[in-house]
Amino acid sequence: MRVTVDQDKCCGAGNCVLLAPEVFDQREDDAIVVLLDERPAERLHAAVREASDVCPAGAIRLSETS
């Protein structure tokens, strides 16, 4: 799984950080998403998929290949 984030779309809700803190963080000043791990370990995949689906801004994209 490969994760990409669109910082321009991100609204800073932080749902992704609540769901997968090992993969996502937020910038200190404006809370825009910071990607910590673009190829997360398999045990995190379910949480990352959920983060992508619940992101209010649709700012998290996943590609499942490799």
- Using CB under 8 A as the binding rule, whether residue 41 contacts other proteins is answered as no
Two tokens, residue 39: 């190829």
Site string for other proteins, 1-40 (x = CB under 8 A): --------x-xxxxx-xxx------xxx-xx---------
- Using CB under 8 A as the binding rule, whether residue 49 contacts other proteins is answered as yes
Name residues whose C-beta falls within 8 Å of residue 62's C-beta, 6 or more positions apart in sequence.
Answer: 1, 2, 3, 4, 48, 49, 52
The contact set with other proteins (CB under 8 A) reads 9, 11-15, 17-19, 26-28, 30-31, 49-50, 53-58
